[in-house]
Structure 1
Amino acid sequence: MDQLVAPPGWPRAVRPPGAPGWEQSAVSWLLDICPPEFRGYPVLRRHDVVLARFAVLHVEACQAAARRGLSEARGVLRDVTDQDTIEAAIETWHAESARLLGERRAVGLVEEALAGKRFVARL
């Protein structure tokens, strides 16, 4: 029997590729990280690889929004709040950017696995 391997960055909520029910755990996780409206599209419910592609693009759009928020924070917020709040907002954008970086890796790995890629253990 082949060893089940989940590569570094694999989401904890998703069973390793090849494990019983791993695809369903992947679909559930993908739907959880996407906007709730995605649950209403039949094509995304029936085709896990299509759902994964939508999830990748959604996370990438969130990354772009975080970059924009970070780049605009001081200029946009200076007339509506104090400097301490602006710095806290910037720290929040940095934290969100880091979270999204991990999420992008995870969703990309799930997309690859749903498309048939199998991962092997490395020494």
Structure 2
Amino acid sequence: MTRFVPPGWPRGLPPGGTPEFDERVVGWLLDQGPADLRTSELRHLPLALATYLEHHIDGCLEGARRAYGQARTDLGSAMPADELARAQRALESEGARLLQVQREVRLVLVAMRVPPPDTGGRMGR
């Protein structure tokens, strides 16, 4: 049976509701967050980990947007114009990356909340 994968689904992560998804989702989630999560109790609680990451990524994205918006004010007098332009491009790129991660984490979180059709159970109890 082929599982539907929604647009924007993380590359390399099997579809939700499959045994492969259950086996790999925690590793994928840990790759999206700070390294300290690898030793956190959250690594044993997949749904809580995904929920934490949703909020964490939201905060990171807000920070990237704020840094981009304030770059000229915060850095303009301390950097040559060419370095400021490079910094703004880097911040824009980081914001785009975080937006993609935010979408992916949200899709994974939705998939984790859907009970498997054959058991009616939920992952991450």
TM over 0.5: yes
Match of 2:27 in 1: 28
1:111 Cα deviation from its structure 2 partner: 0.5
Match of 2:120 in 1: none
Please give the residue correspondences for 1:49-68 in structure 2 after superposition, counting only pairs within 5 Å: 49-68=47-66
Match of 1:102 in 2: 100
Match of 1:69 in 2: 67
Distance in 1, Cα, partners of 2:30 & 2:89: 28
Contact residue 49 and residue 111 of structure 1 kept, 8 A: yes
Corresponding pairs, count: 116
Distance in 1, Cα, partners of 2:62 & 2:30: 20
TM-score by length of 1: 0.86
TM-score by length of 2: 0.85
1:9-54 CA-to-partner distances (Å, cap 9, x unmatched) read 1101311112222122111010011111112222x12211100001
Give the alignment partner of residue 79 of structure 2, picking from 68, 76, 81: 81
Distance in 2, Cα, partners of 1:24 & 1:56: 20
Distance in 1, Cα, partners of 2:66 & 2:103: 20
Q: RMSD value over aligned CA atoms?
A: 1.5
1:71 Cα deviation from its structure 2 partner: 1.3
Q: After the TM superposition, which segments of 4 or more aligned residues of structure 1 sit over 3 Å from their partners? A: none
Contact residue 13 and residue 25 of structure 1 kept, 8 A: no
SS in 2 for 1:9: coil
Report % sequence identity: 35
1:79 Cα deviation from its structure 2 partner: 2.2
Match of 1:4 in 2: 3
Instruction: State the AA in 1 paired with 2:25.
Output: A
Going from structure 1 to structure 2, the CA distance change for 1:78 and 1:88 (only over 3 Å counts) comes to same
Distance in 1, Cα, partners of 2:9 & 2:25: 10
Match of 1:121 in 2: none
Gaps of 5+ in 2: 117-125
